[in-house]
């Protein structure tokens, strides 16, 4: 609660007239980031997400088999692998949509294995979906207003009780301000009143990322955010991602397009048949025989 208040206060003090594309949406991230890791420097300080020995089987088929990796703070890390390598399942296991049969997921030094999706999201680990899942019958503004955490009006009694509702309305106004900032950052302010169901595929991807961002996350898991997006929008989306990464957000990115991964990621993790085949810098991955083999094998 106090977190949100602080954030809002900052959002308010920010000059809101900043030009759309370049103006930072700002302020969401730093306040939470600075007071992290109170226990002195440990591994979780540098690697917010650690996955250890993750395993998941579906009716005899092992989708993820003893996968272990970690993601470094402030990086854009790619998670690649041929079809059926277990990327989406891994995402679902990390974010609590699925419960692993074995292994642990640690986020910011806390074991979050098997926790419910909303609990994990509230810890600052937020995902997007492979197929953008906009809330069709809600406007873009409603979609975005939904996202911020710990809204006062989410308590039913406060929303309906005269007197207390004034607080809710006040916070709604603050949230709306933040939402407009993000809308402008992503250049989708002109469709603010549109129903999400009427958006184009690319706009949905933008909406989804904007929505995830508004939850005030530390780390974003993006599941093929560029699939079905035309090249010019892909470029813009990537610019946004880089901009956000520079502000301190951490990204884990599932993507099919190898070139895109190689050009944009600092680190790449390769999954193959549910296991981590290798990880390293894009250059190392490109030079890795095993990876090439895995891909060829996977495609043939």
Partner 1 sequence: MSVRDDVADRIPGGDAGLIVVVLLALYAVYILVGVGLGYSVRGQLNTIAVLTFYIGVFAMLALALNLHWGYTGLFNIGIVGFMAVGIYVMALVSKPLYGSGGAAQVGGLGLPLVVGIVAGMVAAALLGALVALPALRLRADYLAIVTIAMSEIVRFSFLSGELQQFQLFGERVGFGGGSGLILDFTNPLEAFFAFFGLWDAYLGFVDAFTVIIPNNPKPVVDGLVYGAVLLGFVAAFFWLLKRTGESPFGRVLKAIREDEDVANSLGKNTNRFKIKAFMLGCALMGLVGILWLMTSGAVTPNFFRPRITFFVWIALIIGGAGSNTGSVLGGAVFAALLYQGPRYLKNLIDTVIPNADAPSSFGPAVAPLVSNFDPAPLFFYTIDSVRQLQLVIMGLVLIWLMHNRPEGMLGHRKETAAGIPLTASRARGTASTDGGDAGGEVDE
Residues interacting with partner 1, by CB under 8 A? 17-22, 95, 97, 116-119, 121-122, 126-127, 129, 133, 135-139, 141-142, 145-147, 149, 151-156, 159-160, 165, 168-169, 171-173, 176, 180, 184, 186-193, 195, 200-203, 206, 211-212, 215, 228-230, 232-233, 236
Cα–Cα distance, 46 to 49 (Å, whole number): 9
Q: Which whole-number Å values give the CA distances from 83 to 43, 56, 163, 239, in the listed order?
A: 32, 17, 55, 27
Shortest Cβ 21–partner 1 spacing (Å): 5
Shortest Cβ 172–partner 1 spacing (Å): 4
Shortest Cβ 198–partner 1 spacing (Å): 10
**Residue pointed to by tokens 């706009």:** 203
Shortest Cβ 216–partner 1 spacing (Å): 9
Looking at the Cβ atoms of 102 and 146, the one nearer to partner 1 is: 146
For the packed helices 201-214 and 231-246, what is the interaxial angle rounded to 10 degrees?
10
**Residue pointed to by tokens 């007197």:** 163
- Comparing CA positions, the residue from 223, 240, 179, 228 lying closest to residue 202 is 228
Shortest Cβ 297–partner 1 spacing (Å): 30
Shortest Cβ 287–partner 1 spacing (Å): 33
Cα–Cα distance, 218 to 126 (Å, whole number): 8
Cα–Cα distance, 105 to 211 (Å, whole number): 24
Q: Which whole-number Å values give the CA distances from 56 to 66, 85, 222, 251, 256, in the listed order?
A: 9, 12, 21, 23, 22
């Amino acid at each position: 609660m106090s977190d949100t208040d602080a954030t809002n206060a900052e959002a308010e003090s920010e000059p809101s007239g900043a030009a759309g594309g370049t103006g930072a949406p700002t302020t969401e991230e730093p306040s939470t980031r600075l007071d992290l890791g109170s226990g002195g420097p440990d591994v979780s300080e540098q690697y917010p997400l650690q996955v250890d020995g993750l395993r998941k089987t579906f009716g005899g088929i092992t989708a993820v088999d003893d996968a272990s990796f970690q993601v470094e703070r402030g990086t854009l890390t790619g998670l690649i692998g041929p079809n059926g390598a277990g990327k989406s399942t891994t995402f679902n296991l990390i974010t609590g949509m699925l419960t692993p049969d074995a292994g642990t997921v640690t986020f910011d030094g806390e074991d979050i294995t098997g926790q419910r999706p909303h609990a994990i999201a509230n810890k600052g680990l937020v995902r997007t979906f492979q197929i953008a899942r906009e809330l069709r019958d809600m406007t873009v503004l409603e979609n975005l207003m939904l996202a911020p955490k710990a809204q006062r009006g989410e308590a039913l009694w406060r929303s309906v009780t005269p007197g207390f509702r004034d607080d809710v309305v006040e916070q709604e106004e603050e949230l709306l301000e933040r939402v407009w900032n993000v809308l402008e950052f992503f250049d989708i302010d002109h469709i603010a009143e549109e129903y999400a169901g009427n958006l184009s595929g690319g706009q949905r991807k933008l909406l989804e990322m904007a929505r995830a961002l508004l939850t005030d996350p530390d780390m974003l898991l993006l599941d093929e955010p560029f699939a079905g997006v035309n090249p010019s929008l892909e470029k813009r989306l990537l610019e946004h991602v880089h901009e956000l990464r520079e502000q301190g957000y951490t990204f884990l990115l599932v993507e099919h397009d190898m070139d895109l991964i190689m050009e944009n990621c600092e680190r790449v993790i390769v999954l193959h048949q549910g296991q981590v085949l290798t990880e390293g810098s894009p250059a190392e991955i490109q030079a890795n025989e095993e990876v090439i083999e895995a891909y060829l094998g996977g495609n043939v």
